[in-house]
Amino acid sequence: MIALDTTKFETGFVGKMNFLVNVVNDRLTDEKDQPAIGMILCKSKSKTVAEYTLGSLKSSIGVATYTDSSKELPPSLDDGLPTAQQLEEQLAIASQEFES
């Protein structure tokens, strides 16, 4: 799971990501799947604040900064990643299942 924010890192982002990772692990994975990993990409972050915020979480969540780039992924990476449409469809399914 990836969350992209155009602002600086906020501690509340981790709670939201932890919630989403837990929903995916509970509702969308089965025994053969590895636990979900959450990535929070922000415009900027304080390493110290991010480390304290992630401190004792059991979920695999990382925080990183990103650089806005219009470059496309190399074909070797692009082939293995889902499209934006596929991600949106899976998110819609997960949302519907969660609300049920």
Domain that holds residue 37: 2-71
Residue 14 domain flag? yes
pLDDT, tens digit, for every residue of 10-64? Answer: 888 988 989 999 999 999 888 899 888 888 888 888 888 888 888 878 788 878 7
Residue 44 domain flag? yes
- What amino acid occupies position 42? C
Residue 77 domain flag? no
Residues counted in the chain: 100
User: CA–CA distance from 45 to each of 15, 24, 81 (Å)?
Assistant: 16, 26, 26
Residue 55 domain flag? yes
Residue 84 domain flag? no
Q: What is the DSSP string of the chain?
A: -EEE-SSB--THHHHHHHHHHHHHHHHT--TTSPPPEEEEEESB--HHHHHHHHTT--SEEEEEE-----PPPPHHHHTTSPPHHHHHHHHHHHHHHHH-
Residue 89 domain flag? no
Query: Does the predicted TM-score (pTM) go above 0.75?
Result: no
Residue 85 domain flag? no
- What amino acid occupies position 69? S
**Number of compact structural domains in the chain:** 1
